[in-house]
Copies of this chain bind each other. A is one copy, B any other.
């Protein structure tokens, strides 16, 4: 959701800021409504030699998850620039053929936009730069494996991309469309 313009910040956290506002109800009374803002994020579908790059991502205080390269955007950072930065930092891969696949801000009571980018023809051009809170291993899977992977609940991807992959799994035309979009 987008925060309404009258929302005021009542708490500034490390990741989450809390906002509140007076909301008129249907009967004319007023209640305090609350919602959050967190830094936007970007995920990347990087295509490497006809395959898709996925990451095994371990962080302190969390089980390892399988996901796509990506992460939090810096304040006012252009989404594509941030996506390319995260891809390079986490995996060492870079690309000069980018396209936005989906953008979503659908969480209930959280103003949080997630971008999913395609990075075609990605190449390993540098060493990954992991910070002290990251242990990341990259691996490659085929396009069919990537689409099928939506059935794995533990595959941590944005809901909008999940929808696209389910549609591709369900409908051969949508699958062909996605494949073409990835340059495959």
B residues near A129, Cβ cutoff 8 Å: none
CB-defined interface of A88-125 with B at 8 Å, one 1/0 digit per residue?
Answer: 00000000000000000010110000000000000000
What is the CB-to-nearest-CB distance from A6 to chain B, in angstroms, rounded to a whole number? 10
B residues near A10, Cβ cutoff 8 Å: 13
Contact check: which of B18, B106, B160, B169 meets A170 at CB < 8 Å? Answer: B169
B residues near A109, Cβ cutoff 8 Å: 15-16
Interface residues on A, range: 35 or more
Contact B26 A135 (CB under 8 A): yes
A151-B167, A159-B159 given as contacts; is B16 within 8 A of A34 (CB)?
Answer: yes
Copies in the complex: 2
Complex CA distance for A166 and B165, rounded to whole angstroms: 11
What is the CB-to-nearest-CB distance from A37 to chain B, in angstroms, rounded to a whole number? 11
A20-B14, A33-B14 given as contacts; is B132 within 8 A of A25 (CB)?
Answer: yes
Complex CA distance for A128 and B32, rounded to whole angstroms: 24
Interface residues of A (CB under 8 A from B): 1, 4, 10-11, 13-16, 18, 20, 23-27, 29, 31-34, 36, 60-62, 106, 108-109, 132-135, 150-151, 153, 156, 159-160, 163, 166-167, 169-170
- A-B pairs, top 10 by smallest CB distance, nearest first, are A25-B132, A14-B34, A11-B11, A27-B132, A15-B34, A166-B166, A25-B133, A23-B60, A13-B34, A23-B61
